[in-house]
Structure 1
Amino acid sequence: MVTNMWQRREFLKAAMLGLGSLGLPALCWAQGEHQDAWLWSAIDDAQGHQLLGYQPSTGNRFRAPVPERCHGGCRRPGQPQIALFSRRPGRLAHVLDGNEQREVTRITAGPDHHFYGHGAYSPDGRLLYATANRIKDSAGVIRVFNAENDYALEGEIDLAGIGPHELRLMPDGQTLAVGLGGIRTHPDYGRVKLNLDDMAPALLLVDRLSGAILERHAPSHHQLSCRHLDVAPDGSVLAGYQFQGPAWEQQPLLAFREPDGSFAEMALPDDLTDTLRHYIASIAMAPDAPLALITAPRGHRVLLLDRNERRLIASHHLPDAAGALPDGNGGFWVSSGEGEIFRVPGDGSQPQRLDALDLRWDNHLS
């Protein structure tokens, strides 16, 4: 249940903003400025854990040191702010100002909670939603923070499950798509997985105003941890799995939630499935073309899909493929854990290396 949160004006704001707010490029501080876009990512370098702002068109960059390893980020609509979250079991989120190129505030997960590395803003930029673990009972929740009140905690949505990871705002501006990984952890044991025999992963659709769970789609195997996802303008969701079972088993690693609410997994060729080593990282759906890009760092692959036809267009070797994001020009930016940044064209041709930096990119770009 949502506590202490929403007033009727919040619902009206979301309805009025609707798809218009979601049409803004996720990378830029001004509309239509993809050529001047900044990419944001957690990184590690010789100085330790950092947050990086990087402009592919110029190579300009700045770094902000942080005390623990971070993961995913999200841009605040209408503001030059980006929030980046600590990886499980971290307890901090960092809000950077892109214009001032500095950290402007830090958010704590709160007593008895830790973050899972991802978040999303409301369409008007007032509220920030972050996936979290309530440690005392291992409950998966969404913590809700008021960005207009110095990111004070406003409430919590209980997801009736364990291990929520990535979340995205749906095109209606009111519904959140959430990958529920199903894996129980505890900070006392670091990243050790404590319940592999009785996992219950799912793809969830959640009403961010009421807290109601509108849809719950379970994978075909209870050890297919549903973790990463992206949302297309038509309301379809592409989710990626990380299989926690025996290495020799073959399992589907991708699933689509259709605009009508139906759910189906997508099989890839057996030899490609083996190559991916049970692990999908970033997913990016192009807003202006029926394309999706998937990274698989353990398999050193990027996959390009036709999402309308549910068809594999290309599979490219790319060492330690990490973050992925549409570039607004028919292709995708892809980072590598080895420090490189690539452009992957939408026509299926080979990745083009743009730059090589002396650092290690984390698995997501924002």
Structure 2
Amino acid sequence: MLNRRLFLQGSLATAALGAFGGLTGCAASLQKQTAPASRLYLSAVDNEDGAHLIAGIDSAGKTRFQLPVSDRCHGGCAHPGQQQAVVFARRPGRHFYVIDTASGKIHKTVEAGPEYHFYGHGVFSTDGRYLYVTVNHFISGDGFIRVYDAGNDYQVVDNFAVDGIGPHELRLHPDGETLIIALGGIKTHPDYDRIKLNLDTMKPALLLMDRHSGRINQRYTPSHHQLSCRHLDVSPEGVVIAGYQYQGPEWETPPLIARLDTRNGEFSEIALPSDLQASLNNYTASIAISPNAPHAAITAPRGHRVVLINYMTGALIRTAEVHDVAGALPDDQDGFIVSSGQGGVFHVTPQSDAISALGHYRFHWDNHLTLAS
């Protein structure tokens, strides 16, 4: 349990955020980079009055900007070749925001268009030319990967059908050609806010899609039709770790972590010890994979836990308790930085059950962190 003294010390330790140097969690790139003097981290946040913002924090701990937006936002990704990052509204939001990371201003707001809304995630192609975004056509309930031409002012160039409902987070495979898509399977409609309309007939999946043609090359199915596949990350070797949110009876405790080795097509689910499994309350959020060691972090906000596993073997390494844990990114060694809906930012390592408080802010972090520069 994080004690109050440590938490309060964290509010005085903002300068320690220099430990953020070397994070690589954005979907745009999986390659380790040389840490510059200052880095910028983005997250969707709500302030104490409940207003929706996009916050930018640098590696010295300074809040660089807080940009008011009309939607509650979710995930983001950085443009690999320009000083831009994109932050997406979460369902049923209908905008994404292109941030000029040099000026700290919104460069462009893009609307989903009539009959569509976003799911909160996107990823750039390796060269930054195209942006791939998960969208819902809420009239039919069909999910799509929408392709935007970032080199042409983010104009729409294609919609790829996923042959299912509720595509959520996606990543670009290390081959640069394949999109890895978590298909949640949950039907929603803006007229009903976030109410889930098809829990009895869900068909979640983990998809591999050709980013040029939209052809689905592989489809992997969870062990239960109510295991909504929502978030994921992929290692430099091509090992995918995905997180589920179970929509069935709360007293059931199915596995919440899936592993796919794209080198050989092996798909499996990771069963944690029964007491730990039950403590996660059937809900995972952010997934982050280290580029420096075979470690993955899975956050479980409802269980107030960070679960660290060996992504190559699926073995449990350890857990850490962080109240209302939210986003996760790898650090520059073999551990992780995690945020909290209560405003804290913490460092978690595979070597120790202890956590370090790195800072505290007067806003509520959403479930994802993005390395913007």
TM norm structure 2: 0.89
Deviation of 1:143 after TM superposition, in Å, equals 0.8
Asked if 1:148 corresponds to 2:141, the answer is no
Number of residue pairs matched?
341
Q: Is the 8 A contact 1:45 1:358 kept in 2?
A: yes
Select which of 34, 41, 44 maps to 2:43: 41
Asked if 1:312 corresponds to 2:319, the answer is no
Asked if 1:283 corresponds to 2:302, the answer is no
Q: Residues 314-333 of structure 1 correspond to what in structure 2 (within 5 A)?
A: 314-333=318-337
Select which of 19, 22, 29 maps to 1:22: 29
Deviations 1:339-361 (Å, cap 9, x if unpaired)? 00111124234221100111100
Q: Is the 8 A contact 2:320 2:348 kept in 1?
A: no
TM norm structure 1: 0.91
Q: Which runs of 4+ in 1 moved over 6 A?
A: none
Q: Bigger shift: 299-308 or 58-67?
A: 58-67
Are the structure 2 counterparts of residues 195 and 23 from structure 1 closer, same or farther at C-alpha, using a change threshold of 3 Å? closer
What is residue 235 of structure 2 aligned with on the other side?
A: 232
Q: Is the 8 A contact 1:225 1:241 kept in 2?
A: yes
Q: Residues 70-109 of structure 1 correspond to what in structure 2 (within 5 A)?
A: 70-109=73-112
Identity %: 51
Asked if 1:267 corresponds to 2:271, the answer is yes
Deviation of 1:35 after TM superposition, in Å, equals 6.0
Select which of 217, 225, 236 maps to 1:214: 217
What is residue 165 of structure 2 aligned with on the other side?
A: 162
1:22 match: secondary structure: coil
The root-mean-square deviation of aligned C-alpha atoms, in Å, is: 1.3
Are the structure 2 counterparts of residues 208 and 93 from structure 1 closer, same or farther at C-alpha, using a change threshold of 3 Å? same
What is residue 15 of structure 2 aligned with on the other side?
A: none
Deviation of 1:62 after TM superposition, in Å, equals 1.3
Q: Residues 117-196 of structure 1 correspond to what in structure 2 (within 5 A)?
A: 117-196=120-199
Deviations 1:5-25 (Å, cap 9, x if unpaired)? xxxxxxxxxxxxxxxx83545
Q: Report which structure shows greater RCO (CA 8 Å, sep ≥6).
A: 2
What is residue 32 of structure 1 aligned with on the other side?
A: 34
Q: Is the 8 A contact 2:338 2:346 kept in 1?
A: yes
Q: Is the 8 A contact 1:323 1:334 kept in 2?
A: yes
CA–CA distance in structure 2, aligned partners of residues 35 and 345 of structure 1: 23
Are the structure 2 counterparts of residues 345 and 205 from structure 1 closer, same or farther at C-alpha, using a change threshold of 3 Å? same
1:230 match: secondary structure: strand
Q: Which amino acid aligns with 1:129?
A: Y
CA–CA distance in structure 1, aligned partners of residues 105 and 348 of structure 2: 30
Q: Which runs of 5+ in 1 are unaligned?
A: 1-20, 26-30
Q: Is the 8 A contact 2:147 2:156 kept in 1?
A: yes
Q: Is the 8 A contact 2:55 2:63 kept in 1?
A: no
What is residue 359 of structure 1 aligned with on the other side?
A: 363
Are the structure 2 counterparts of residues 101 and 198 from structure 1 closer, same or farther at C-alpha, using a change threshold of 3 Å? same
Asked if 1:112 corresponds to 2:115, the answer is yes
Q: Is the 8 A contact 1:43 1:360 kept in 2?
A: yes
What is residue 302 of structure 1 aligned with on the other side?
A: 306
